[in-house]
Amino acid sequence: MTTRNNIVEYIKSSSLKTLKDRTHYEFFNNVQVYIKDSLPEYFDILHVLKKVENLIPSHFVYNIDSIIVGQFDELIDREVNAMYREGTLYITNDQTDEDDMVDDVIHEIAHAVEEMAKQELYDDNQIKNEFLGKRKRLYSIVKNENFDVRMEDFLNIDYSVGFDDFLYKEVGYPLLASLSMGLFVSPYAVTSLREYFAIGFEEYHLKDREYLKKISPKLYFKIEELLESARY
């Protein structure tokens, strides 16, 4: 009996070691996932991938060829956890927990979706006008807090390092979260039209869908339209 138990324990521990040492996975059956640098000891990457698969339709990863997890100089330099570029998601292995990585993966999938459905999202200007309307209101709010601001910065829909530095370092995201409450679902959504969409996409799939519908109805219904078209 003891020998049998020892064999069972050996098989179990060997299996766990094999899973731990594994560096290649598949996501939605055709997206290749590579672990370049080790994840934390407790981390279950399969749980992360399965959770994302259960949250979004497979059509949304059409533009994605691979996911690479590890340390990347550009992520470190930009002080971000992830980025999407030319069909690949780059995700840091420095994760607080599995939900933290789920957030990162879904956020970057949003950027891939935006690239794939840019005309459908933006040609009628509904999201753009909603975003700019919020930016104009935020301009007045921030100006009333005695910050030195320019309207042209708030009317630029593209990401600007200088504007992001102003929001992040001068205003500060904690204060910005308070000032933008009821306008944007998070401070980072303020930084550009692309991030407005990606943060909204993340909010829709992971957080408070009704809140997104209430404060960003144009964005909410565009995401609904994307989901509807993905079903066919």
Tens digit of pLDDT for each residue in 160-180?
999 999 999 999 999 999 999
* 133/224 same-domain check: yes
Question: Looking at residue 42, what is its pLDDT?
Answer: 86
Question: Looking at residue 228, what is its pLDDT?
Answer: 86
* 87/161 same-domain check: no
Mean pLDDT of 49-58: 95
Q: What sign for the dihedral angle of Cα 62, 68, 69, 74?
A: negative
Return the closest-CA partner of residue 112 out of 78, 159, 54, 65: 65
Give the N- to C-terminal CA distance of the chain in Å, as an integer: 56
* 88/125 same-domain check: no
For 10, the token pair is 């050996």
Which regions of 127-229 does DSSP assign to beta strands (E)? none
* 67/137 same-domain check: no
In a domain, 88, yes or no: yes
In a domain, 107, yes or no: no
* 134/85 same-domain check: no
Which regions of the chain does DSSP assign to beta strands (E)? 24-27, 31-35, 66-70, 82-85, 88-92
In a domain, 202, yes or no: yes
* 85/134 same-domain check: no
Q: 158 in helix, strand or coil?
A: coil
* 90/131 same-domain check: no
**pTM greater than 0.85 (yes/no):** yes
In a domain, 125, yes or no: yes
* 82/32 same-domain check: yes
* 198/124 same-domain check: yes
* 187/153 same-domain check: yes
In a domain, 12, yes or no: no
Average pLDDT in the chain:
90
How far, rounded to the nearest angstrom, does the alpha carbon of residue 86 sit from its chain's CA centroid?
16
| Domain final position from 44, 64, 98 | 98
Task: Give the integer Cα–Cα distance in Å for 70 and 183.
Answer: 34
For 69, the token pair is 């997890």
Q: How many structural domains are present in the chain?
A: 2
- Confidence class for position 15, pLDDT limits 50, 70, 90: very low
* 132/196 same-domain check: yes
In a domain, 186, yes or no: yes
Checking if the pLDDT of 103 tops 70, the result is yes
* 94/125 same-domain check: no
In a domain, 48, yes or no: yes
Checking if the pLDDT of 230 tops 50, the result is yes
**Range of the structural domain that residue 64 is part of:** 23-98
Long-range contacts of 138-147 (CB under 8 A, 24+ apart): 138/179, 138/180, 138/183, 138/184, 138/190, 141/179, 141/180, 142/171, 142/179, 145/171, 145/175, 145/179, 147/171
In a domain, 163, yes or no: yes
Strand partners, 88: 66, 85
For 16, the token pair is 């766990």
Which range, of 15-24, 55-64, 142-151, averages the lowest pLDDT?
A: 15-24
For 41, the token pair is 């000891």
